[in-house]
Structure 1
């Protein structure tokens, strides 16, 4: 059994303290409303504060407060908004973008922020030695992919040019309708060159430079303190170009993988927002406190990952058997109850007008036939396998349902294993791939189907399955080069059909995010990409 994490115990301590002292002193929410300090449940411990290495919504939630790119997005409409660039223009053929940096753009230590900072950051993110898992979002830029794969060593040939300290020109390899939205991903954020180089090599993946105080950033907030396992605190950045608009004085992010602990802390007045909601509490909040419950539509996909480099999942028939045995409708209807949709493909419907192909449906009879064809009739001779997940109620419950379903329909034994979020991510990455079956969850980073389908392109650092096929890469490349929207969607559907037929993953559901938000919080918008513009958030008791 896993021991409670320090962060889990911290939130329990906050709740106990609040209960014992509620008659004598104000809660954290009450004092936070007065002092303009937002208390946020952040789901788990942050892995990295280095924008070019960090990944996932937990890291990005904090990075969104500390850093800002050339362009940001409106959370709800996903339309581009000026960031460090106050304006931009593009050529009529859609290949060249020119960004004009704000004259008052500065780092949190007061240093001027210039185009050279962006060039350094982009080159660092694409340099093979850094091995950034998220470098593929640069690939629409001319020669960026060649440089990232070591096939081109002269960065001067990549499509970035800075005519002066305030003008940045970016040339694309092909017109890319969603290009501006890519600039909101954290790998496009600038990093402070002297801070990176002072601490270690620019390509040191330990991100030691982010542990040196003060951390130099360029967003609406700057790092105040990071007490691992307790909280990470950011404070208003006086050097931010739009500091006058920032209404919060501080944000404290509390890590906890226990949804129960976060919900208790929220009810006790110790959190303004909770990351997610325990399944057992959804219905009661719907009826008793609907004003506190947010069920946000999200471009999110939850799935099973197969390690295709290990037996028995090298065989696509085995993978497909496991996928066809899943009862997605029952999971959504009886377990989740938060507006999720059973997923028959990877990409959520409606993303940039795209609709995925009809792929996997529950078919236990076909699943048993495929397993028998692969040499395991009624599961006989099938080895015991492990399903890796994280110690959180929703994930544990889904794992148990899958375990029982595979036992009943296929006659196979699956053992559930749990790892805390940091260790889980380390286990499923392409460097270690230390798992057989694992929980998968992906939130769209930008509003285009390639944010999902591109994960499984050859060389993508966050693939994690070991599956790679040139034919799939060619289908994605054909879709990327197609300018007509209807033909492009058809090409993407063809690529997604190919992916689902080979089954390196088994889709389960398309998600929503169930969160709790205190009534004093203002400016907390629905966010399909699950990011926050914290500069727009305020507190009004």
Structure 2
């Protein structure tokens, strides 16, 4: 064949490959959305993940009873309607007629199986505690009770699911948007075991399903033709890049290789505002950046040592001089704007000048047996990120001012958080972003029963009692009062060193439409599309 004919044939082939018939015979090129999630997924099983970076993938693939709208507000998902009993304890959901990506119908029994699976201690799901509002969930997950049939979830028929709670839980519907409450395909898991999440086996009930996973390179998902609302999903393929190097991601974004980046290095803010003012998005965010301290490990079991470390951290210098992107200094657990909680908590010492705080910190360390001849030495661990490193370097210098020697240790996100969940830390970087807009979501991290996600192993009987009590009452004012009391206990015990309250920082291509800034910083691919 001549070169001219080859070029003509190739052009024809490309044209046919690029076009698909839609609706009324309108031709459309394949729409590919490329995002940088900033972290390698530990798994694609929604019951085995715990990170915001993983939420992008599993949140696109699965549909809970409730789901996130474009603005992250809870809307009907797999459930098309529901009723709530007068006492607020029983929720009855009517499932919409929809299918798994392999064409098999989704039933109420699928949800029963899924809730039992994540609560079952044999599953070892680190995030199972978030479902503790469900009747007997905490007892079953801890092993205190046997028999998963005792979990307060049952199928009345194929399309009717009933969930019974321990106590009235005003945020329960929003909680159901979270991936711990996503259904998983029992028929595939029983056939494939742990390999069910591998491309080729992967089955989901959301707008997309995973077709490729190349570790440390990319995850690819395709539009699910069996999704109940597939006709309104415009994106055909999503490519998720896990690169944790914010500067490298920014370069790729500027080169047009990425449409959305979940974060950027704060040191670039002046450059980005100047060069990419429309693409640089900063928005209030329900999240707290903090340093958990291992309260079970000497010398950090001494409250004086923990208080000294917290006193010496200059939060204002970190937000105003290191980050410079609008973050707020944090002295408490719960960020501003959370539910009906009101103003964040701050201990009295937070108002003291830094020099007075440093003097007090040195005095406390001396009482604990540390000084110039015997400095306190510790490891400060953080996961890979330019911002985390810059903050750790700043804190290292602040601690040096009071005679503390901190060794900085950097690990990739997956390894870092695995170690935190195993309580292998002195002091470490961590963060929490709201799963649902209620202060309980933040304070629950410090409950004894939270287990692996309570990284520093803080445990206080009165704190635990207050948190259990707030979950049993419907009066929102009383609930908030009890949680304020609980937060004061934890902060006064220096269970954490809060650093700052978040803003979300993202790079959003002008081609990307349907993107809505929101305080949960959740952006499902289902609602977006690309133009130009």
Query: For 1:316 and 1:260, how far apart are their aligned partners in 2?
Result: 39
Structure 2 residue 248 is matched with structure 1 residue 261: yes
1:500 matched to 2:491? The reply is yes
Corresponding position: 1:433 with 2:423: yes
Q: Which has the larger radius of gyration?
A: 2
- SS of structure 2 residue aligned to 1:217: coil
* 2:53 corresponds to: 58
Alignment CA distance shift 1:458-1:208 (3 Å): farther
Give the distance between the partners of 1:128 and 1:336, measured in 2 at CA.
41
Q: Secondary structure at the match of 2:122?
A: coil
Candidates 524, 527, 532, aligned match of 1:536: 527
Q: Deviations over 1:121-142 (max 9, x none)?
A: 0001111111211112211112
Per-residue deviation, 1:357: 2.1
Partners of 1:380 and 1:313 in 2: how far apart?
Answer: 19
Task: Measure, in 1, the Cα distance between the counterparts of 2:39 and 2:295.
Answer: 28
Taking structure 1 as the reference length, the TM-score comes to: 0.89
Question: Which sits farther off after the overlay, 291-300 or 131-140?
Answer: 131-140
Cα shift at 1:283: 1.4
CA distance in 1, matches of 2:334, 2:29: 43
1:78-124 per-residue CA deviation (whole Å, 9 max, x = no partner) reads 53211011111112221111111112x10010011000100000001
> Once the 2 structures are TM-superposed, how far is the Cα of residue 198 of structure 1 from its aligned partner?
2.1
- Check if 1:148 corresponds to 2:172: no
Distance across 2 between alignment mates of 1:314 and 1:151: 28
Q: Is the 8 A contact 1:75 1:528 kept in 2?
A: no
Q: Secondary structure at the match of 2:502?
A: strand
Say which of 96, 107, 111 aligns to 1:118.
111
Moved more, 325-334 or 86-95: 86-95
For residue 471 of structure 2, the aligned residue among 473, 480, 483 is 480
Q: Is the CA contact 1:295–1:513 (under 8 Å) kept in the aligned structure 2?
A: yes
- 1:521 and 2:512 aligned: yes
Partner deviation per Cα, 1:178-207 (whole Å, 9 max, x = no partner): 00011011010000112212233xxxxxx4
Quote the RMSD (CA, aligned, Å): 1.5
Q: Does the Cα contact within 8 Å between 1:380 and 1:411 map onto a contact in 2?
A: no
Q: Is the 8 A contact 2:185 2:204 kept in 1?
A: yes
Match of 1:357 among 345, 351, 366: 345
Structure 1: distance between partners of 2:139 and 2:302 = 32
SS of alignment partner, residue 238 of structure 1 = coil
Q: 1-side partners of 2:485 and 2:437: how far apart?
A: 19
- Report deviation, 1:299: 0.5
Pick from 137, 154, 157 the counterpart of residue 130 of structure 2: 137
Note if 1:442 corresponds to 2:432: yes
2:220 counterpart (233, 236, 244): 233
Query: Structure 1's 481 and 365: CA in aligned 2 closer, same or farther, altered over 3 A?
Result: farther
1:424 lines up with 2:416 in the alignment: yes
Equivalences for residues 73-84 of structure 1 within 5 A: 73-76=68-71, 78-84=72-78
Task: Tell me what 1:40 maps to.
Answer: 35
The answer to whether residue 96 in structure 2 is matched with residue 108 in structure 1 is no
Correspondent of 2:264 among 273, 277, 285: 277
Is the aligned partner of 1:345 residue 2:332?
yes
Q: Alpha-carbon deviation of 1:407?
A: 0.2
Equivalent of residue 383 in structure 2, options 377, 390, 396: 390
Deviation at 1:287, TM superposition (A): 3.0
Equivalents in 2 of 1:134, 1:110: separation in Å? 29
- Measured after TM superposition, the shift of residue 34 of structure 1 is 5.3
For residues 183 and 111 of structure 1, what CA distance do their matches in structure 2 show? 23
Q: Give the Cα–Cα distance (whole angstroms) in 1 for the partners of residues 148 and 37 of structure 2.
A: 37
- Give me the whole-angstrom Cα distance separating, in 2, the residues matched to 1:518 and 1:403: 36
Aligned to 1:20: none
C-alpha deviation, 1:293, in angstroms:
0.8
Name the SS for the 2:310 alignment partner: helix
User: Any idea what SS the aligned residue of 2:429 has?
Assistant: strand
Cα contact 2:334–2:345 (8 A) shared by 1: no
Match of 1:93 in 2: 87
Q: Matches of 1:46 and 1:180 in 2, distance apart?
A: 26
8 Å CA contact 2:315–2:499 kept in 1: the answer is yes
2:361 is matched with which residue?
Answer: 367
2: CA distance, partners of 1:34 / 1:382: 64
Contact 1:97 1:169 in 2 (8 A): yes
CA contact (8 A) 2:217 2:242 kept: yes
Q: Normalization by structure 2: what TM-score?
A: 0.91
Report the CA distance between 1:63 and its aligned residue.
Answer: 0.6
Q: Give, in whole Å, the separation in 1 of the partners of 2:156 and 2:230.
A: 28
Structure 1 CA distance for aligned equivalents of residues 385 and 337 of structure 2: 29
Secondary structure of 1:261's aligned partner: helix
